[in-house]
Homo-oligomer: A and B are copies of this chain.
Amino acid sequence: MKVRVGLGQINSVVGGMRENVKKMSEVVEKAQRQGVQILTFPELSVCGYPPEDLMLRTDFLKANVEAVQEFARSTVNTGLVLIVGFVDFGNDIYNAAAIIHEGKIRAIYRKSILPNYGAFDEFRYFARGRKPLVIDLAGIRVGITICEDIWVPEGPMGAEVVAGNANLILNISASPFETGKPRMREEMVGVRARDYRVPIIYTNLVGGQDELVFDGHSFVVNHKGEVIARAKGFEEDFLVVDLHLEEAVLAKLHEPRRRQVESFQECEIVSLKVEKNAPSDDVPNRVEMLKGELGDTLDALVLGVRDYVKKNGFSKVVLGLSGGIDSSVTASIATLALGSENVKGVLMPSRYSSKESVDDALELGENLGIQTFVIPIEKAFQAYLETLEEVFTGFPPDVTEENLQARIRGNILMALSNKFGWLVLVPGNKSEMSVGYATLYGDMAGGFAVIKDIYKTAVYKIGRIINTRFPKPVIPENVFKKPPSAELRPGQTDQEKLPPYDVLDSILRMYIDEDKPIEYIVEEGYDEELVKSVIKMVKNSEYKRRQAAPGVKVSSRALGKERRLPITNHYDPK
């Protein structure tokens, strides 16, 4: 038995039902031209993922259901069987897949395993589906699953194969990017395929949505768990595969698994009369290459910025250029995302700025081909000092005056934003954001923090990769080599207040990303006092992160909605 499946890897936008359905309709046309029989779209493809508290509004839920119905009607004469993600609602609401054929919704599958950790809050909204679903297309028996359903061995897939005789599993996902995750997904899905000797079609969302980047990378594995087709990463794609299916091989499943599967609720089986046969010629299998982890991470940052900017109605961005690695990398990513004509760099030198920094920043701007402005902050700084002179009498200069400089720069960028409609990008990295080595309303000012989830040591590495993505290197060599400094007073370097970044980043990775106790970190060879002082900085800067701009998540513990700590917190780990 042969079946031709199309994977519609689209970039849905949250709340944009009309434009999402339009995108889907364009894919339908392509699918028809290519003789596709089953066409899949990602999880919540109709309304975007995650719609968050929009789902508390009945008018939103209705608009999403109407969009699915309208889409269903529009496909009436295509002969296609379509799998579309939407929010199903009655007494409860469900993360659901509509199975559409001949202009109507023929069946609805409701997601059974709901993620409620990290950046996910699905229990806040959805009730659990309890019924596995198999669609029978004259012997092509398709089990439906949604995202998390397939990440646990206890999911509905087992019942669909065993009780429902499925010989093909579809999974529609909105799986956000994390470094290394594209490969991890394929490995996991490959194991599931081998477990039940059944091919799996994995269709993922693509696009940036606030902190999340969905990377696409949809793929197909055969019943041996081998990847036989793969869509592109970080862009929309349409992948068509031919699968030659066997009858289900249930007899070979051993008894304990059969029992486990039978604990599931009965499998619903819906038969659809599909008359169209698959075209006789096979499509060649297209297997796009996976990039390395850092290359993927860079692509995620680029897509994250592009979609945040464009989906929020901006076209141009502005950021401060200090001549340091963070602003250099951020400006380069913005240029890759939006084109040099849409990126504006602003040098804002002070009495403490070195000639070296100014030169490096100007060179970067020239290499990127972006417009740069030089707006010195001296006059405003002097005005503040005079304004505050009386009330500050008797108090020596301290961090106050340093922060003032950072805040003047923040104000200038925001003024340019207000005047010209440019979105301000924030250049802070994860190391700084973790320990609070950043000025609230100063260098933290802006709408989107591109490298917020990248530790400083990794920023340098990404800088190196960036330099290979342009015809000639854009970030000057000197930027990689000079010691990091905020240049807010004479001779300042980051390492006066912070340990060397390789040490700091190692400690932070264990403490923040892995939740390790102090004891563990010390055993890894780090000085206990140093570890405690780093942890204290992390805790004491919670209030800054609460007011920070969102940024792209690329780790499994990004400093956004994935990490929810109280500001008021008297816990000191021992």
Contact = CB atoms under 8 A, between A and B. Distances in A.
Given A121-B564, A395-B419, A566-B51, A573 B375 contact: no
A156 to B, nearest CB: 20
Contacts of A380: 380, 383-384, 387
Nearest to A118: B124
Nearest to A208: B568
Nearest to A64: B571
A543 B447 contact: yes
Contacts of A387: 375-377, 379-380, 412
A565 to B, nearest CB: 5
Interface residues of A, number: 87
Quickly give the copy total for this chain: 2
A16 B517 CA distance: 17
Interface string A374-405: 01110110111011100110010011100110
Contacts of A414: 403, 407, 440-441
B375 A386 contact: no
A13 interface: yes
A566 B207 CA distance: 14
Interface string A397-441: 011100110011011101110110000000000000000000011
A388 B410 contact: no
Contact of A415 (B383, B388, B419): B388
Given A375-B387, A550-B546, A569 B398 contact: no
B565 A52 contact: yes
A404 B17 CA distance: 38
Contacts of A116: 123-124
Contacts of A14: 566, 568-571
A15 interface: yes
A441 B413 CA distance: 12
Interface string A534-571: 00000000010011111000000000010111111111
Given A52-B564, A567-B312, A569-B54, A415 B441 contact: no
A204 interface: no
B403 A415 contact: yes
A518 B564 CA distance: 33
A53 interface: yes
Contacts of A416: 391
A570 B19 contact: yes
A210 B379 CA distance: 38
Given A380-B383, A410-B441, A54 B566 contact: yes
Contacts of A526: none
Nearest to A14: B566
Given A210-B567, A517-B57, A546-B550, A415 B311 contact: no
A93 to B, nearest CB: 13
A58 B517 contact: yes
Contacts of A564: 52-53, 121, 124, 561
Nearest to A17: B571
Nearest to A59: B517
A571 B419 contact: no
A116 B519 CA distance: 33
A565 B13 contact: no
Nearest to A549: B547
B59 A411 contact: no
Interface in A79-108: none
Given A441-B410, A566-B209, A515 B400 contact: no
A308 interface: yes
A355 interface: no
A46 to B, nearest CB: 12
A568 B312 contact: yes
A574 interface: yes
A550 B382 CA distance: 32
A519 B59 CA distance: 10
A60 interface: yes
A383 B392 contact: no
5 contacts: A50-B566, A54-B565, A124-B564, A375-B387, A375-B391
Interface of A: 13-17, 19, 48, 50-54, 56-60, 63, 116-117, 121, 123-124, 208-210, 307-308, 311-312, 373, 375-377, 379-380, 382-384, 386-388, 391-392, 395, 398-400, 403-404, 407-408, 410-412, 414-416, 418-419, 440-441, 445, 447, 515, 517-519, 543, 546-550, 561, 563-574
- Report, nearest first, the 9 A-B pairs whose CB atoms are least far apart: A15-B571, A16-B570, A383-B383, A400-B418, A59-B517, A441-B441, A123-B123, A380-B383, A15-B570
Given A14-B569, A384-B411, 17 more contacts: A14-B566, A14-B568, A19-B570, A51-B566, A52-B566, A59-B519, A123-B123, A307-B568, A311-B570, A376-B387, A380-B383, A384-B412, A400-B418, A404-B411, A407-B407, A447-B543, A547-B549
